[in-house]
Amino acid sequence: MKTTISLTWLILIVLTITSAYISNLQGTYIAFVILILAALKFLGIAFQFMELKKAHVFWKGIIIGFVVIFIGIISVVI
């Protein structure tokens, strides 16, 4: 249990530093990559730290739905 939480924390830290680093790069898809990394971090917290992985499929679906719609709208508008 603690190993999974620790591994999740490590991945979240790496993803955060990576997103801050790539935000300095130039490119068409940089904004999209930053948003995808944010979505992965969001789901990592929800499923591992908040233990949503153990919850009913309804709660898993609604949180994934939120993040997909949110990132989708931002990616289209930006």
Partner 1 sequence: MNKVSINYKNIYYPPGGILLWIIIFLELFTFGIALIAMVFYSKQEPLLFHDSRLLLNATFGMINTLFLLTSGYFMAVSVAQLKANNRKKSNTYLLLTMLFGMLFLALKSFEYYGKLNEGLDLSYNTFFTFYWLLTLFHVIHVIVGLVILTSVYFGIRKPQSNTSIEDVEASAAFWHMCDLIWIILFPVIYLLF
**Contact of 47 with 53, CB cutoff 8 Å:** yes
Q: Min. distance of Cβ 53 from partner 1 in angstroms?
A: 9
DSSP code of residue 44 = H
Among 29, 61, 68, 73, binds partner 1 (CB under 8 A): 73
What is the distance in angstroms between the CA of the first residue and the CA of the last residue of the chain? 39
Among 25, 26, 28, 77, binds partner 1 (CB under 8 A): 77
Nearest residue (CB) to partner 1, 2 versus 28 = 2
**What does the per-residue mask of binding to partner 1 show for 38-67, with x meaning CB under 8 A?**
x--xx--xx-xxxxx-xxx-xx--x---x-
Q: How far apart are CA 47 and CA 40, in angstroms?
A: 10
**Contact of 54 with 21, CB cutoff 8 Å:** no
Q: Min. distance of Cβ 64 from partner 1 in angstroms?
A: 12
